[in-house]
Chains A and B, each alone.
Chain A
Amino acid sequence: MNEMPKVPYRIQIRYFALLKDLVGQGEEVLGIPAGSTAGDIYLLLAEKYAFPLALTDIRIAVNDEFTSTSHPLQDGDSLVFIPPVAGG
């Protein structure tokens, strides 16, 4: 029996600071498999763009609120990876 194809969710990712420099743009839209967590997507993109930061070095925001790396993403979510901050 054929497996049902997974319907990809579309999420928006915004990049800041070091990550934006490495990606070369401030945002992109990504199709992801249903059931992906924010951490899954970070690891995927960290490999693609050679991010020097481990998952434990960043914080995650979904829809402009802090959350955990295990946050399950929904269709239409906005995702931000937050490298160590340096305000003040």
Chain B
Amino acid sequence: MPTFRDEKIIFNAICPQPIDPSECRVSLPRSREVGGYVCFEGLVRSFNNGKKVIRLDYEVYEPLALKEMRRICERATEEFELFSARCWHRSGSLNLGDTAVLIDVLARHRAEAFKGCRFIIDAIKHRVPIWKKEYYDDGTASWTQCHEHHDEPAF
């Protein structure tokens, strides 16, 4: 019987257009060995750091972002024995409620699926060269710097 490792599927994309969660779900890889599916969506929220956000822009250093997303998914796949790890991240201009990031994973059991998905979103926030500019209702805007990343060890 093939192991998960032999079959692992990794997919990453930077999306200038809206992410459609139903399309991601339809394209989910299938395997009879899979017992756990976990999907995380990050959405654009109206308040951040005490200010009212009206929209935001994501800027992406795409060649390196895609490489790093792949490394993160590969690491998660090995560490948590995932069958698949997929990630879509938006670029460009987003409105409130839009999907900013979607991650889904498949594993034999739920525990590995939850842990793997959590690992991937946390690593993306800390490691992948993507930046967010928030626009506020008072007419100001700022690049958010919520994560320190110096001395981030390489995978």
User: A5 at the A/B interface (Cβ < 8 Å)?
Assistant: no
Q: Number of B interface residues, CB 8 Å? A: 34
Please tell me the size bucket of the interface on A.
20 to 34
The CA-CA distance from A18 to B141 in the complex, in Å, is: 11
The answer on a CB contact under 8 Å between A17 and B64 is: no
Question: Binary interface profile of B, 52-87, with partner A (CB < 8 Å = 1, else 0)?
Answer: 000000111101110110000000000000000000
The CA-CA distance from A27 to B146 in the complex, in Å, is: 25
- Between A17, A61, A87, the greatest number of chain B beta carbons within 10 A of the residue's beta carbon is seen for A87
Residues in chain A within 8 A of chain B (CB atoms): 14, 16-18, 20-21, 56-59, 61, 64-66, 80, 82-88
Residues in chain B within 8 A of chain A (CB atoms): 42, 58-61, 63-65, 67-68, 89, 100-101, 121, 124-133, 143-150, 152, 154
Selected A-B contacts with CB under 8 Å, 13 pairs: A16-B59, A59-B129, A59-B152, A61-B61, A66-B154, A82-B149, A83-B145, A84-B146, A84-B147, A85-B126, A85-B129, A86-B132, A87-B125
